[in-house]
């Protein structure tokens, strides 16, 4: 009886390992700026409900390349962000089976975010209780 159980376990392992291995894919590509220069240090985040950790993040290398590996089949949202550049989000990236899905991205220089004025430039235009303007 033990031999039969062992034989079934081995057969199941042999049949399931290729299926599990083939069900994992990779999203990879290169991130560049508007002048086609590569961008190292870009944060690339893949999020999906099929991931146990819900999000997986990598950073582009010195040649602007990234690889998100061992992705299970499902729909992904991939977000690219780097300080000084507008964030790019690609939704509905469908991963199925195995292989490499190429997703090259161009980032544009982002708009400057609103900042509060420096203390030297702040001026109050409220009136004091005695009716005069405060400085």
**What pLDDT was estimated at residue 58?**
98
* Mean pLDDT per 10-residue segment, the chain (135 residues): 61 53 84 97 97 96 97 96 96 93 95 40 37 48
**What pLDDT was estimated at residue 110?**
85
**What pLDDT was estimated at residue 111?**
60
CB 38: neighbour CB atoms within 10 A?
15
The structure's pTM equals 0.66
**What pLDDT was estimated at residue 130?**
45
CA distances (Å), origin 19, targets 26, 72, 109, 112, 131: 16, 12, 43, 48, 81
79 neighbors 87 (Cβ within 8 angstroms): yes
**What pLDDT was estimated at residue 11?**
58
47 neighbors 79 (Cβ within 8 angstroms): yes
How many Å separate Cα 79 from the centre of its chain?
A: 4
**What pLDDT was estimated at residue 127?**
39
Residue 43 in 3-state DSSP? strand
According to CATH, the superfamily of the domain at 20-111 is Carboxypeptidase-like, regulatory domain (2.60.40.1120)
């Amino acid at each position: 009886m033990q031999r039969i159980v062992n034989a079934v376990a081995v057969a199941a392992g042999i049949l399931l390992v290729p299926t599990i291995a083939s069900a994992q894919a990779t999203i990879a590509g290169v991130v560049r700026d508007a002048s086609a220069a590569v961008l190292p240090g870009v944060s690339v985040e893949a999020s999906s409900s099929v991931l146990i950790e819900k999000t997986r993040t990598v950073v582009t290398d010195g040649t602007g390349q990234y690889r998100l590996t061992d992705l299970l089949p499902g729909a992904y949202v991939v977000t690219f962000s780097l300080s000084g550049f507008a964030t790019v989000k690609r939704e509905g990236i469908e991963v199925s089976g195995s292989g490499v899905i190429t997703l090259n991205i161009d980032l544009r220089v982002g708009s400057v975010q609103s900042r509060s004025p420096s203390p030297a430039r702040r001026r109050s235009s409220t009136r004091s209780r005695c009716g005069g303007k405060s400085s």
